[in-house]
Structure 1
Amino acid sequence: MSTTIEDRLILLLKEDGEHHGYWQSLEEVTGISAQRWRKAFARRQRPTTDMFAAICKLYPRYAFWLATGITDAINGHVAPQTALTFPERLYAGSWATNSYFKQSLKLADKLYAEGNVDIEDEKQRMYAVERTQPLAHWIASPLLEKAYELSTSEEYKELQELWQQREQDRSELLPKSAATPTKQGETGGPPRTPILGYDNRTAHQSMFELFFRPEK
């Protein structure tokens, strides 16, 4: 049994939760009370689906890890520094990737808002999102027309530009993650002297390596 999704939510909140005013700011951006966030953090209540949805939108780079417990770091799906990850070990994210995720979420919300979908109506939500296959081909909902309309917007152009930057970041990260560093440690320089707060067990690996590599 690995960690639970509740455990992972607490680890995520712990990354910023000790900052002054964090819980109040979390309430302001999610619409969920600071008291509920504190209770979930202290395990005094189980987090609800609206809390998970809100935290995934706020931290999209952590959403895959939060749901599954694993990362896909090369593609920007990382974990907070407060969590041990395995089988991948890479934490390095990308500004462009995270911005791409956030812009995608913004456009997805805009599709439903401008498509006049009543998000409180279950039937409308399902009708708007569902594709059907009455005969040989898939047919999308009427929102498809709005999707094409939004694809001509400046916001959509920005999304495509962010994707290009994300791919550039990814192409630069891949060689670093695949390379085998020298035994001297992450910098290739002289052996490190252990210092307070530094975990010497990782000294033989580069901070950009994707996988665990036992020291020989």
Structure 2
Amino acid sequence: MSKITERLKHLIGHVTSEAKKFKELEAATEITSGTWRSWWNRSGSPSGEMIEAVSTAWPEYAFWLATGNDDPMHGHHAPGLNKHIRTRSAARDLFLAQQELGNWIAINKFGYNEFAETVKLDQNLDDENNRKVREFNKLRIKVEALESIRNEQEASLRKFEEEEFMKEFFGYTE
């Protein structure tokens, strides 16, 4: 699939049911079902908004969607095409948590620099800033925990896949 239109249609076919695909896309992307239906039937190029929305809803396919290449060892894969490599489910959870943190920072205009400064002044913060510090910290800790889980899953799967490869191609067994 060399064109982004073909890849997007393949992805949509993988993540939605045939009968309700446009309603499911609307629910997942907040782009109206009519817009999706119109694009699908016209077969023109998808809009940047469509690509961004699908990439946000299904981040494990975003790299493949944008480039046509996959990187399954790092949680980026083509939908349904890499059966021999195990899905990195922890990578998807991490991607979603990173998006959640990024969205929270954008909405609250609150980043690492602001966090570092407010932590120093903890006793002097008003209730709203204390709430923001707690929310930011909670999301940051969630991302760090999911990153740790993803790293553990990667190590385990890599070891398992290497052992399978050695058995399959070289008849090696421990």
What corresponds to 1:18 in structure 2? 17
Q: Does 1:27 align with 2:49?
A: no
Q: Does 1:113 align with 2:107?
A: yes
Q: Does 1:171 align with 2:139?
A: no
> 96, 113, 137: which one pairs with 1:145?
113
Structure-1 separation of matches of 2:45 and 2:134: 38
Runs (5+) with no aligned partner, structure 2: 117-132
What corresponds to 2:129 in structure 1? none
Name the SS of the counterpart of 2:168 in structure 1.
coil
Higher helix share: 2
Contact 1:39 1:45 in 2 (8 A): no
Q: Percent identity?
A: 22
Deviation for aligned residue 1:95: 2.2
Contact 1:10 1:40 in 2 (8 A): no
2:105 alignment partner AA: L
Structure-2 separation of matches of 1:167 and 1:151: 24
Runs (5+) with no aligned partner, structure 1: 117-142, 189-216
What corresponds to 1:64 in structure 2? 63
2:167 alignment partner AA: P
What is the total number of aligned residue pairs between the two structures? 152
1:94 alignment partner AA: R
Structure-1 separation of matches of 2:16 and 2:93: 22
Q: 1:156 to 1:37 in 2, by over 3 A?
A: same
Deviations 1:154-181 (A, max 9, x none): 1211111100110011001112333233
RMSD across aligned positions (CA): 2.6
2:142 alignment partner AA: E
Matches within 5 A, 1:57-206: 57-81=56-80, 83=81, 90-115=84-109, 143-146=111-114, 148=116, 153-178=137-162, 179-182=165-168
- What TM-score, normalized to structure 2? 0.75
Deviations 1:75-96 (A, max 9, x none): 1011101x5x7xxx75522221
1:103 alignment partner AA: A
Contact 2:97 2:143 in 1 (8 A): yes
Name the SS of the counterpart of 1:93 in structure 2.
coil
- What TM-score, normalized to structure 1? 0.62
